[in-house]
Structures are given as structure tokens and as C-alpha cells.
Amino acid sequence: MKLFVYHTPELTPTDMPECAIVVDVLRATTTIATALNAGAEAVQVFSDVQELMEVSEKWPADKRVRIGERGGNKVEGCDLGNSPLNVTSDIVEGKRLFMTTTNGTRALQRVQTAPVVITSALVNRRAVVEYLITKKPETVWIVGSGWQGSYSLEDTVCAGAIAESFVTEMGYPLADVAGNDEVYGAISLYLQWQSQLYQLMNCASHGQRLVGLKCYDDLKYCAQTDTLDVLPIQSEPGVLVKSDLQTKKLQYWMNDSKTQS
């Protein structure tokens, strides 16, 4: 396997890998994982607000939730902004979420033609690592969303968390796996900050924007690691659903428990 890290959609090559992992810790991919874990039917992403409105209008009103964010604020005409704390089961269960954000949805559209597209945040890092260990794709890109084309600390530390865990658990020499220098940098950042991720969020430029918007609880939530056992995976271009790998894993655990009893 060769693993590559790209900090923004703009820095991502045009040829596609076997597996692309999109990261937008603050906050799109954290919200996507949380919504699917809460029972959302799917999350459909758009880079353009008008397109979101036109497509979602064709969906039954009681079966849709519009999520729109620009500059950290909710888009007028949408039901919710981009806070993962708002996508609770009573709001999203059984519904399709139509989402547009400043950065994350752009990153998803950048790699949507890859054979496999999944999303990761810190909250579901473990599920992503388990997917890589199980499937062992030949080439993997971890694509950060950044902030309007620039580097972001929070996406890079998440990329490092994924890469470090995968390499360590598989016992691979890093030199054999790392496809570019960014992999080394991301792992180094994670190893330095792994026990202070909330502090890192507050240092990050986008974290400071969210502090300015008084989104303190969002920052705390997004800084948590491995709290959700959910793997968002693209079922068709721009549409993310909950992977059935978690269901299969639960069934295996239940069958194993019955055997032992």
C-alpha cells in the first residue's frame, strides 16, 4: 500500500487513487459521521447552495434536512448550520441530509470519481483504520479540506492519526508506506498533539473562527477521538451512506458470543 496526504483539494492530483479519504474535522466530516450514526438515510453534498436547493426541493419535505454553512455561519434558507451537535436522531433519523459547507463538500467533490470514497474525522478515526486494515487498498489518499485553499492543522492531525494507527498496527515500515513527505509531517503533528487535541483545535485558525462564533461545544466534540463506530462511504457520486461493515462486525460479535456461551 502507498499512502498519500494532501492538505487541500487544490493540492490534490487529478488522477484518482483506489481509496480516497476526505477529512474536514471542523466540521463537515464530523457532522456527516454523527448524522449517519444518528440514523440519517444518507448525506448528499453540494458545493453550490442553489444546486442544493433545487435538488432537495424534489425530495419530500418531511424526509429532508438542509444543512448549509459559509464562513462558519448557517446559510439562509437551510434548516441547520454545520454543527454536529444539531444532527440528533430526533431531527435526522430516516431523512436525507442535503449539505453544503465552505470547505468539506468541495473536497468531497474533488475526489468523487475515485472507486472508493470515505470520510473521516477524529470521532470515527477507528472505523476508518479498520477499513484500511481489512481492505488493504493499493493506493490511499487522505485529502484535507483546509480553509478556502489553505492548510489546516485539524485536518492534518486527523490524517496523521489515521496514518500512524494504520502503520503501527500493520507493522509496516513507514518508509515503505509513505507516498509523500506530507505523511511524515502529519504523523509527527499527531504524535506531538495526540493528548492535547482540544488545545490544538483552539490554536487552529478555523478553531479560532469558531471560538469567535462561540462554538465552544463544537470544538470539544470535534476534538474527541474514536467515539463513533461509523464509516461514511460514497454509494454514488456525492451521496454518503453508512457502510455495512459495522453491521457485519456486530453480527460477527453476536455470533461469536453465542458460540462461546
Contact 127, 246 (CB under 8 A): yes
Contact 250, 61 (CB under 8 A): no
**219 Cβ contact partners less than 8 Å away, ≥ 6 residues apart:** 26, 198, 201, 202, 207, 210, 211
Calculate mean pLDDT across residues 9-21: 96
In CATH terms, the fold of domain 2-242 is putative 2-phosphosulfolactate phosphatase (3.90.1560)
What string of DSSP letters covers 153-170? HHHHHHHHHHHHHHHHHH
pLDDT at res. 188:
98
Contact 82, 69 (CB under 8 A): yes
The answer to which of 78-87, 102-111, 113-122 has the lowest mean pLDDT is 102-111
Q: Per-residue pLDDT for 261 more than 60?
A: no
Calculate mean pLDDT across residues 164-181: 97
Instruction: Write down the domain spans for the chain.
Output: 2-242
Secondary structure class of 187 (helix, strand, coil): helix
Calculate mean pLDDT across residues 7-26: 97
Q: Give 198-220 pLDDT, tens digit per residue.
A: 999 999 999 999 999 999 999 99
| 135-to-116, 128, 213 alpha-carbon distances in Å | 11, 11, 40
Arithmetic mean of pLDDT over the chain: 93
Calculate mean pLDDT across residues 30-44: 98
pLDDT band at 246 (very low <50, low <70, confident <90, very high): low
